[in-house]
């Protein structure tokens, strides 16, 4: 079994496994060249391109896991949602969901119409990749916030207004998105992904009480549905230092954390779980010595505990030099040796 999968299960590993969110994409010159010819959704509609983009960081960086190249909005296509993706700003929903009729207009998720090419990419990656493949999906709250707000938001005012003021409408939308997420991830596992990650990118805007009442029940249902499939599940959000206890209770074999909380503090909240994180992505824009020192601080907090997967606290930034990413992978893999040299 790979060191990444062993770490997910809190088993001993020979070296700390490392991979990066958004390791495939905007920071890669080859990907930017590809985007001059294809939109993101056009890439997702071609199995060969999905595999090409997914595999490139494995070949170039030496990471311990690949993550399927896609966008968290892809399942919305299978629900009949019309939207556009704008580089740097995210999705723009043509018809935001604000009323019961809007929820009723959402189709049950139709995977065959939208993700056949993506699943074909899974098969291609599995044949070629020397490391495990992670599938992923956006969590219902994050997808729901896009649908309600009409796109990205800072304050999530419309989302919170529905959640608190129209609980029946909120429940109907969350149930639709929960079922779609379960179907989407189940299809990925059946196609061959060896772990999954749920991105609840914007749930950090909520209080613990709102999370427990309005988000946790749906997350529990998703993780309970995934458990019989036998693959590790990673539960990740940003700005969630105040929600980690609630997120761990909702489910996930691995809890992903951002840089706003120390690993020791996070572990105290999540208990007997593996943990993923948590270097600030902006550190990679600085000198290589700064990258190493900040990475060493993260690894020192992990203190060799079983179940640590090194990652960034969010995705790789577009201006990140590829040699910094490659150097960081080598540093993490050789941490014990280099740390000894520093002490000497």
| Type and span of the H or E element at 325 | helix 322-333
Phi-psi region of 317 (alpha: psi -120 to 50; beta: other; left: phi over 0): beta
Residue 11: DSSP 8-state: -
Retrieve residue 26's tokens.
């905007």
Catalytically active residues are 22, 26, 35, 71, 146
Backbone phi, psi, residue 137, to 5° = -155, 155
The full DSSP string for 213-258 is HHTHHHHHHHHHHHGGGT--EEEEESS-TTTHHHHHHH--SEEE--
| Contact present, 261 and 278 (Cβ < 8 Å) | yes
Please give the structure tokens belonging to residue 85.
Answer: 């993706």
């Amino acid at each position: 079994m790979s060191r990444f999968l062993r770490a997910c299960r809190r088993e001993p590993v020979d070296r700390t496994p490392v991979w990066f969110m958004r390791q495939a994409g905007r920071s890669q010159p080859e990907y930017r060249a590809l985007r001059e010819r294809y939109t993101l959704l056009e890439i997702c509609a071609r199995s060969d391109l999905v595999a090409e983009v997914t595999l490139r960081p494995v070949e170039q960086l030496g990471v311990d896991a690949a993550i399927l190249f896609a966008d968290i909005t892809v399942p919305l296509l299978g629900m009949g949602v019309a939207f556009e993706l704008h580089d740097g700003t995210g999705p723009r929903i043509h018809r935001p969901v604000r009323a019961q009729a809007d929820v009723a207009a959402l189709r049950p998720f139709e995977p065959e119409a939208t993700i056949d090419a993506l699943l074909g990419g899974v098969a291609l990656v599995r044949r070629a990749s020397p490391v495990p493949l992670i599938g992923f999906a956006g969590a219902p709250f994050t997808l729901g916030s896009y649908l309600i707000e009409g796109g990205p938001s800072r304050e999530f005012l419309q989302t919170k207004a529905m959640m608190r003021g129209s609980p029946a409408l909120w429940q109907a939308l969350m149930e639709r998105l929960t079922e779609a997420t379960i179907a989407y991830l189940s299809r990925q596992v059946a196609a061959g992904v060896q772990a999954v990650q749920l991105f609840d990118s914007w749930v950090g805007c909520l209080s613990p009480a709102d999370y427990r009442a309005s988000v946790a029940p749906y997350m529990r249902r998703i993780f309970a549905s995934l458990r019989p499939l036998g693959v590790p599940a990673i539960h990740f959000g940003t700005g969630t230092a105040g929600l980690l206890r609630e997120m761990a209770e909702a489910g996930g074999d691995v809890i992903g954390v951002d840089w706003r909380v120390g690993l020791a503090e996070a572990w105290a909240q999540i208990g007997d779980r593996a943990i993923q994180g948590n270097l600030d992505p902006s550190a990679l824009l600085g000198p290589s010595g700064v990258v190493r020192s900040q990475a060493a601080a993260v690894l020192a907090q992990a203190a060799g505990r079983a179940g640590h997967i090194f990652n960034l606290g969010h995705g790789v930034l577009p201006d990140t030099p590829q040699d910094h990413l490659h150097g960081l992978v080598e540093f993490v893999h050789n941490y014990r040796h280099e740390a000894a040299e520093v002490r000497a």
